[in-house]
Structure 1
């Protein structure tokens, strides 16, 4: 079954549905969410995307990024993907939303109205290996250093969302 995304205008008014890869080829604005999880020490969870992903395989990114289904809230979608990708339930809350556009290579674009959620999680994972290669926690300082030294190891959207996150929370 084709995965559909919800196309929207900048005011989050629904324009229709489109197959996900087609929306990424056309660079059309659609709904998305991003989840940043932290452990009790304040380290951020990163996931390495699975090798079979159709774009940005084996790149590090935040805990979960995806798209709500038609009729699903941003929060419901984020909680669903935490279960589907990481095999976890986590208490998350919405922090902000913004629009970005990123070239992810091979003629594909992420153009998203992105709702960003955060939460604390300090337990075990049951990774879906079709989605996630591995996970790790990293301190904000070490994350900044790694991105600076090897930006190509990270997804384009994660670098954008992380900067927006820092802007909202002055997180260093």
Structure 2
């Protein structure tokens, strides 16, 4: 992971390359993507593998990541969906949001996130999670998700809690 170079955002809006872990350690503003896959109104969520470098074992949206330096956001979203969950669906770009959050272990997210949404038929969808990335997946209805987050916020990643709270029109 230490050699992965991602796009950071300078004060003037220009992009510059930065090593991923450094971006998180120094809370450097950087690009990211988040993917939300739905079936009949239910969202596919994932539990991050326990050994992830931050937020291991916590539930998050379908998938999220950072584009590699010089990788398009759309290609990044599709790549990460295939890498983490072993499938691909058509994705539609929805909106761009910004947030900052402490993710534990001295690491921080400060991201400009492009959101992508896809539709799937779970009866025909072959989910094949990479065990190094994902320990579990499940479909959840919006009301149940809100109730779970209210009852057990520490079971969910900081960014997913922010998405559900601030951007409910997109996430759910």
TM-score under structure 1 length normalisation: 0.92
Structure 2 vs 1, CA of residues 73 and 12 (structure 1 numbering), >3 Å: closer, same or farther?
farther
Q: Give 1:50 deviation, angstroms.
A: 0.4
Q: Deviations over 1:60-82 (max 9, x none)?
A: 00001100111111111000001
TM-score under structure 2 length normalisation: 0.92
* Correspondence 1:4 to 2:5: yes
SS of the residue corresponding to residue 47 of structure 1 reads strand
Q: Partner residue of 1:87?
A: 86
How many residues are aligned here? 168
Runs of 4+ in structure 1 over 4 Å off: 168-171
1:1-172 alignment runs, 5 A limit = 2-9=3-10, 12-14=13-15, 16-39=16-39, 41-122=40-121, 123-166=125-168, 168-169=169-170, 171=172
CA RMSD of aligned residues (A): 1.6
Q: Give 1:13 deviation, angstroms.
A: 2.3
Separation in 2, partners of 1:13, 1:147: 36
Q: Give 1:9 deviation, angstroms.
A: 3.5
Q: Which runs of 5+ in 1 are unaligned?
A: none
Q: Give 1:100 deviation, angstroms.
A: 0.6
Q: Deviations over 1:15-49 (max 9, x none)?
A: x111111110100000100001111x210111000
SS of the residue corresponding to residue 24 of structure 2 reads helix
- Equivalent residues of 2:50, 2:57 under 8 A apart: yes
Q: Give 1:165 deviation, angstroms.
A: 2.5
Q: Which runs of 5+ in 2 are unaligned?
A: none
